[in-house]
Amino acid sequence: MTWLSKSLMHTRGVARGAVGTTHELTEERQGVFHYTIGPYSQPVLHIKPGDRVIVDTRDAFDGKIQTEQDLPSAKLRVPFLNPQNGPIMIEGAEKGDVVAVYIESMLPRGANPRGTCCLIPRFGALTGTDFTAMLNDPLPEITRKIDLDEQGVYWSRRVTLPYRPHIGTLSLSPEIDSINSLTPDSHGGNMDVPDMGPGSITYLPVRSPGARLFIGDAHACQGDGEVCGTAVEYASRTTIHVDLIKSWAIDWPRLETEDQIMVIGSARPLEDATRIAYSELVLWMAKEYGYDKWDAYMMLSQCGKVRLGNFVDPKYSVAAGVEKKYLAPEAE
């Protein structure tokens, strides 16, 4: 029996950890991919709490960058970036609930899987961009194709990186807005938090009927901040187990792993993302773990963990976490 049986998902979810039907969301079944996350698109799948979905995600470039000669400026057009599978409707989900998404596995798709990393003009953390507008010439445009498998990401003759997959973009629909899939916010979106890989559970607030789950943007590996603007973007076969927690009022995405609970804030400047993450974590500890608010705040000052997600997208994402061992009730 794993830690999962004690997770918030298994102890509070409608399905109590039980696994229902397994659905396949192939490219064919998906049909039209989405570039905006909202309540206005046609559902592709209806599932029950406890069901599993095997999702065939496309890479963030929609598979249009096939060789190192394919330049982003020639092949891509804003805002048609970062295609998303979904929306998946979850039976019984209503505003005020939470959807839990446990990532079971992420596998590369295709015979000779390759990832793609691009340096895109006016995009990335160390260059002027559309939002941090500069008059400097842009950086060079570069495309890298990288062989990968479940053993490694073969970056260069010199460097092999570990295969550490995660989902970059995971969302429920906002109530009335529709937000492009490049932008993270309180609905989820393009958070690019490396901890959101196999073995993690993400909790997202439901804001529209049926929740409308979107998923995409698999990364074979990614450093903190995704500093050049892109990870090793690849087409994945991702298996998720989905449950519904009724009447849990959360304002921002939360993450649970074997060892930690985390909150993810997305905002600019980066300190505001960090403030959201830490502030929600303090309030969570006070509300659900028996902490005095000020004790939680002061203790996180001694043991809080921060993960930088993206700091290249229209909003930056930061996760703040605490180890579960510090949440256990006082021993008698």
The correct pick among 227, 237, 246, 324 for binding a copy of itself (CB under 8 A) is 227
Provide, rounded to whole angstroms, the least separation between the CB of residue 25 and a copy of itself.
21
| Span interacting with a copy of itself, options 7-15, 21-29, 53-61, 260-268, rule CB under 8 A | 260-268
Tokens of 267: 């905002």
- Least distance from a copy of itself to the Cβ atom of residue 301, Å: 4
Q: Which SS3 state, helix, strand or coil, does residue 288 take? A: helix
Cα 74 to Cα 71: distance, rounded to the nearest angstrom: 5
The footprint of a copy of itself on this chain (CB under 8 A) covers a number of residues equal to: 88
Residue of 165, 300, 313, 317 that binds a copy of itself (CB under 8 A): 300
Find the shortest distance in angstroms from Cβ 224 to a copy of itself.
Answer: 4
Largest CA distance in the chain: 66
For the chain, how many residues are written? 332
| Rounded least distance, CB 207 to a copy of itself, Å | 9
* CA 80 to chain centroid: 19
What is d(CA 35, CA 252) in angstroms, rounded to the nearest whole number? 21
Give the strand pairing for 22-25 and 52-57.
parallel
Q: Is 108 in the site for a copy of itself (CB under 8 A)?
A: no
249 binds a copy of itself (CB under 8 A): no
Q: Which residues contact 100 (CB under 8 A, 6 or more apart)?
A: 8, 9, 13, 201, 202, 203, 242, 243, 244, 245
CB 271 within 8 A of CB 220: no
Selected from 86, 197, 216, 229, the binder of a copy of itself by CB under 8 A is 229
Residue range at the interface with a copy of itself (CB under 8 A); choices 4-12, 54-62, 94-102, 290-298: 290-298
Our finding on whether 3 is near a copy of itself (CB under 8 A) is no
